[in-house]
Amino acid sequence: MTAHPSPPTALSAGRSAPPLCLVASDLDRTLIYSNAALGLGMPDAVAPRLLCVEVHEHKPLSYMTERAAGLLTKLAQDTVFVPTTTRTRKQYQRISLPGLPPKYAICANGGHLLVDGISDRDWREAVAARLAAECAPLDEIRAHLNRTADPAWLRKERVAEDLFAYLVVERQLLPEDWVRELGVWAEARGWTVSLQGRKIYVVPRPLTKSAAVREVARRTGAGLTLAAGDSLLDADLLLAADRAWRPGHGELAEAGWGAEHVVALPQMGVAAGEEILRLLRQEARRFRRERQGIDSVVIPPPAGGVGSAPA
């Protein structure tokens, strides 16, 4: 007689593949902060100790609190942590986040999916095909920007990864009507406009952080996706997550934007970054405990005991 092995228990299956939680977070003004954005809503007397996480041309540029750095280190150990940024690859590589180097990172607002630091070619080709099919060409967008922007407030015009354009402006001189009119013009051509600090981003509508995060979730088999962000370019990411957070500052807060599963925090500035990481880790640990509780339920063997065979 041939012995039939008993079915594996859920516990034994779970040991080799623990339940995965994917955490996708914007960086600038969400987890890391420039000098200008550090103290939003925070008195000097209670300012926390800071860790510099970005240096450029020998100058420190971005920070997080020391407590936030510790939380991020632990979060990266327990989850699939995916930095999700509008920065170019070169700009992203200037950042030295604490903790384990992320296996996945998303740059250029979803245009590049980095796997162990290398841009995934299949993803790049898929993005390029969709942009060509659904959006006006970048050259048309740039020509319009250069034709309509006023040198009185325009400081720089830049192209990011040959995917989108952005302007660096003097915010106090920028007419609000100009940004609104640009948004209407761009929308008709399949592009979106986002004003973030001193930068105006003009980005193809299909070029989204959420699409790239869904691809990471597909590859990793993540059972829960958490997200955080502060700008209009993060809205699709927050909507696509199972649960998400936004700080009390930024483009989304100014617009009063929200959704049922998105928590609008009161904290602003670097304190918001710390609170976001605390809540992300809390939710990831809760998910892990719940899944481990499910996976620890042992499925009983067939009647007759382990290895029993039909008569």
User: Dihedral of CA 226/108/175/268: which sign?
Assistant: positive
Half-sphere exposure of 31 (CA within 13 A, CB side): 29
Question: 298 in a domain, yes or no?
Answer: no
Q: For tokens 């986002």, what's the residue?
A: 194
In the numeric block, which tokens belong to residue 102?
Answer: 């992320």
Q: What is the mean pLDDT of residues 296-302?
A: 48
CATH code of the domain covering residue 180: 3.90.1070
Q: What is the mean pLDDT of residues 228-234?
A: 95
Q: What is the mean pLDDT of residues 278-302?
A: 77
Residues 55 and 195 in one domain: no
Domain interval for residue 107: 20-129+206-292
Question: 189 in a domain, yes or no?
Answer: yes
DSSP of 101-170, one letter per residue?
PPSEEEEGGGTEEEETTEE-HHHHHHHHHHHHHHS--HHHHHHHHHHH--TTTEEEEEEETTTEEEEEE-
Q: What is the pLDDT of residues 5-52, one digit of tens each?
A: 433 333 333 344 556 999 999 999 999 999 888 766 555 556 789 999
Q: What is the pLDDT of residues 58-80, one digit of tens each?
A: 999 999 999 999 999 999 999 99
pLDDT recorded at residue 18: 59
Q: What is the mean pLDDT of residues 224-233?
A: 96
Residues 188 and 284 in one domain: no
Q: What is the mean pLDDT of residues 117-143?
A: 97
pLDDT recorded at residue 174: 96
Residues 176 and 76 in one domain: no
Tally of domains in the chain: 2
In the numeric block, which tokens belong to residue 165?
Answer: 């354009």
Residues 40 and 148 in one domain: no
Question: 304 in a domain, yes or no?
Answer: no
Residues 65 and 49 in one domain: yes
- In which band, very low, low, confident or very high, does the pLDDT at 178 lie, cut at 50, 70 and 90? very high
Residues 178 and 215 in one domain: no
Question: 2 in a domain, yes or no?
Answer: no
Half-sphere exposure of 49 (CA within 13 A, CB side): 4
CATH code of the domain covering residue 107: 3.40.50.1000
Residues 233 and 104 in one domain: yes
Residues 156 and 192 in one domain: yes
